[in-house]
Structure 1
Amino acid sequence: MTTSEPLRPDLARELITLAERSAARRAQRLRNQLDAIQLGQGRHADHASAKVLRRILADHDCWPGHRLVGPEAARAAWSIALHSNDEPDFQRAAAVLLRRSVQAGDAPVRHWAHLHDRALINNGHDQEFGTQFLLGAKGIELCPVREPTTLDQRRASVGLPPAAVALEKVRHRLASMRGDGDSPTVLLAGAA
């Protein structure tokens, strides 16, 4: 992966801005700080962000990786795709392009693992790498995983820590974001 100036700094700025706004809304949602109208506006904004990313993918016929937009914006693109939960077909297509970018050495494999898992979950399948968690009334739990006995080996193959370590990180991150109070069921990704 490269650390030189990205080819498209304009796209980098756009992606980073969209992802930062989305992250701020998600943090407010986890703290139960949004009313129904604001929740709807957030979903609309996430859809609009996915539309921007879809346009970038179509215009460049590739994932906006480190060479095109730089590492920070590539992470922003990943976050936008990851949180496009209402568009599972888009997530699946984005995961295919992200995998190609990983194979070309232009994006981190752990980003692909998270997006691949999210696309599987949102398309009704068990996840492969154990990166997706649910926050429900009973706390945080791992979404269903295919072949759980070999999960940690698959996680290691993409540079992820054991599932138990990831679960503890997610619990710690959520505790620092939420404080006390009930939260609706929310799909969460482990730390990347």
Structure 2
Amino acid sequence: MTTDEPQRPDLARELIARAAESSAYRAKRVRDQLDAVQLGRARHIDHANTNVLRRILGEHDWPGHRLVGPTAARAAWSIALHSDDDPAFQRAATTLLGRAVQAGDALVQHWARLHDRALITSRRHQEYGTQYQLCADGIELCPLRAPESVDARRATVGLPPIAVALKAVRRRYTPDGSADESPTVVLTGAA
């Protein structure tokens, strides 16, 4: 086994498959293309994914690059990011991901986005400006602590200035400049 191969390819495959299925539902949800049954299925998938990741965290700590490889580590992050129905789990996952970042086994940008998401789901203001809301009027930044210093905080974790990130997210989710979505959907910043 080379150092580039994950220690647990079985976990890697499971994480990647679960995150891909959840992502497909989320893409349709953002475009308001899911009926009530499909919405329920998407919620069930996210709940099941949370439970699987909870088990993995309990057995292995954060599934970082060494354990599952970069693609599956990203999948684990995505699963944690979308565990909105369990804010306590999201906070615990943020702590474990932070430890993996300190050990050089995960990306600090993933930690920053998960940290912000955990704050938002706990009804607090985010730190790095990575979480957005898709509203009837377009895409808005979720509540932000100390907006005047957000770019300095973003720079510490390798994120671009907030204006650049917000422009990229708006372009990604409203390519024609319109946002007719009536429900509010929390989005994670792509930039």
2:22 aligned residue:
22
Deviation of 1:28 (Å): 0.8
Cα pair distance change 1:96/1:180, threshold 3 Å: closer
Size of the aligned set, in residue pairs, is 190
| Percentage identity across paired residues of the two chains | 66
Question: What is the distance in 1 between the residues matched to 2:92 and 2:176?
Answer: 31
Q: Which amino acid aligns with 1:94?
A: A
Cα pair distance change 1:184/1:164, threshold 3 Å: same
Question: What is the distance in 2 between the residues matched to 1:157 and 1:3?
Answer: 29
1:40 equivalent in alignment to 2:40? yes
1:95 aligned residue:
94
Question: What is the distance in 1 between the residues matched to 2:180 and 2:93?
Answer: 35
Preserved contact between residue 22 and residue 46 of structure 1 (Cα < 8 Å): yes
Which structure 2 segments of 5+ residues have no match? none
Deviations 1:6-59 (A, max 9, x none): 100000000000000011000111111110111011101100011000000001
Larger RCO: 1 or 2 (CA < 8 Å, sep 6+): 1
TM-score, normalization: structure 2?
Answer: 0.95
Question: What is the distance in 2 between the residues matched to 1:146 and 1:93?
Answer: 21
SS in 1 for 2:62: coil
Q: Which amino acid aligns with 2:144?
A: V
1:130 aligned residue:
129
Q: Which amino acid aligns with 1:58?
A: G
Deviations 1:112-168 (A, max 9, x none): 000000000111110011100111111111111111111000000000000011101
1:65 aligned residue:
64
4+ residue stretches of structure 1 with deviation over 2 A?
175-183
